[in-house]
Structure 1
């Protein structure tokens, strides 16, 4: 799939590499800005277990 996308990008090799890096950066921004915060409440590792065991912060 990635090879197909890379072959269909316009321009010479250096431009395709730049476009690929920009697309990758845009994907990372979208994930960190909207996707990860949206699914964070549903992740099981977000609940702290120290308070449930009776431990308190100093």
Structure 2
């Protein structure tokens, strides 16, 4: 899959590297600000009780 993405990025090597970095940063930001906060209340790890 990564090779497919790499082949479809436009431009020379430097532009491909910068585009790949921007794509990775976008995916990380999407996960951190949208997906993880949405999933976090649904996980059972929050209901921990100690006595």
Q: TM-score, normalised by structure 1?
A: 0.79
* Residue in 1 that maps onto 2:8: 8
Q: What are the equivalent positions in structure 2 for 1:1-58 lying under 5 Å apart? A: 1-50=1-50, 53=51
State the number of aligned residues: 51
Shift of 1:18: 0.5
Q: What do residues 1-58 of structure 1 show as CA deviations (whole Å, max 9, x unaligned)?
A: 11011011000011101000000001111111110000001112122323xx2xxxxx
The root-mean-square deviation of aligned C-alpha atoms, in Å, is 0.9
Greater percentage in helix: 2
Structure with bigger gyration radius: 1
Structure 2 stretches of 5 or more lacking a match? none
Gaps of 5+ in 1: 54-58
